[in-house]
């Protein structure tokens, strides 16, 4: 029985790099260009304006961002729409299918951080550190724990809720959180992954904690980077 060609209409997919029936090769056709996966990462926490995407991806030019957004839209991974008042601006958001890429991005990030050349001290966007929490949570450490953590990272606000090892992260107001961290993404990474004491960062004016400090200190122990690759012998 001959395989049926299901995809006669190639509209929305740029000139293919591989011309290969392998699903992995086609995934690279869709999101393999530089910046594409990072744009998806920035949109995993909800719609963003063009300027907000550029702020989260400081190395990208307006021209390249426009090209990548057009390509991802043509590939049905994201869409643009007019946000309602009071914003009344054009925003970009992932399609339902686009959101399905989250688990792939998480696994790719976790896999890559095992490489000895990965440097966790490099700059991070707010979405990056939030994605890392979703990816690096150690469920055994968070078992029997319920906590709502607030984060003020520049102009971005997030709420992270943990219940019995499961984690939810969303943009939103932090008023009802058990505690709130105010810091840059890099300083949060220093506290969570770098072992930098909260008190040290506070004294340096690099981080602030409001609310339940004991719970805040427990929170930062819930996330673990994977072990680095060992030299082959």
In a shared domain, residues 96 and 127: no
Of the candidates 63, 73, 11, 16, the residue with the CA atom closest to the CA atom of residue 40: 73
Helix (H) or strand (E) holding 207: strand 207-211
In a shared domain, residues 188 and 154: yes
pLDDT of residue 151: 98
User: In CATH, what number is assigned to the domain containing residue 76?
Assistant: 1.10.10.10
pLDDT of residue 34: 96
Residue 193's CB is within 10 A of a number of other CB atoms, namely 18
> Is residue 83 included in any domain, yes or no?
yes
pLDDT of residue 3: 56
pLDDT of residue 17: 81
**What is the rounded average pLDDT for all residues in the chain?**
92
Which region among 13-17, 94-98, 112-116 has the lowest average model confidence (pLDDT)? Answer: 13-17
In a shared domain, residues 139 and 78: no
User: In CATH, what number is assigned to the domain containing residue 184?
Assistant: 3.30.1050.10
Mean pLDDT of 60-81: 97
For the chain, give the percent of residues with pLDDT over 90.
Answer: 84
pLDDT of residue 90: 95
Residues 194-221 pLDDT 10s: 999 999 999 999 999 999 999 999 999 9
Mean pLDDT of 18-27: 92
How far apart (Å, rounded) are the C-alpha atoms in residues 179 and 20?
50
> Is residue 105 included in any domain, yes or no?
no
Alpha helices in 44-118 (DSSP H): 50-56, 62-74, 96-99, 102-112
Of the candidates 8, 112, 128, the residue with the CA atom closest to the CA atom of residue 56: 128
How far apart (Å, rounded) are the C-alpha atoms in residues 29 and 34?
12
In a shared domain, residues 63 and 140: no
Full residue range of the structural domain in which residue 49 is found: 23-100
């Amino acid at each position: 029985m001959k395989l049926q060609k299901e995809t006669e209409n190639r509209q929305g997919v740029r000139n293919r790099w591989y011309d290969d029936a392998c699903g992995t090769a086609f995934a690279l056709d869709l999101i393999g260009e530089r910046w594409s996966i990072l744009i998806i990462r920035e949109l995993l926490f909800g719609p963003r304006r063009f300027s907000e995407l550029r702020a989260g991806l400081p190395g990208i030019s307006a021209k390249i961002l426009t090209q990548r957004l057009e390509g991802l839209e043509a590939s049905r991974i994201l869409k643009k729409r007019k946000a309602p008042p009071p914003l009344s601006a054009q925003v970009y958001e992932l399609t339902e299918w686009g959101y399905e890429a989250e688990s792939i991005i998480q696994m790719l990030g976790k896999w890559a951080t095992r490489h000895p050349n990965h440097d966790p001290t490099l700059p991070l966007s707010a979405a990056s550190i939030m994605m890392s929490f979703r990816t690096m949570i150690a469920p055994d450490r968070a078992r029997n724990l319920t906590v709502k953590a607030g984060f003020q990272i520049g102009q971005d606000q997030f709420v992270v809720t943990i219940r019995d090892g499961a984690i939810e992260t969303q943009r939103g107001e932090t008023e009802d959180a058990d505690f709130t961290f105010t810091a840059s993404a890099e300083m949060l990474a220093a506290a969570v992954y770098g072992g930098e004491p909260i008190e040290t960062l506070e004294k340096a004016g690099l981080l602030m904690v409001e609310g339940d400090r004991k719970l805040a200190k427990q929170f930062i122990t819930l996330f673990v980077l994977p072990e680095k690759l060992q030299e082959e012998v």
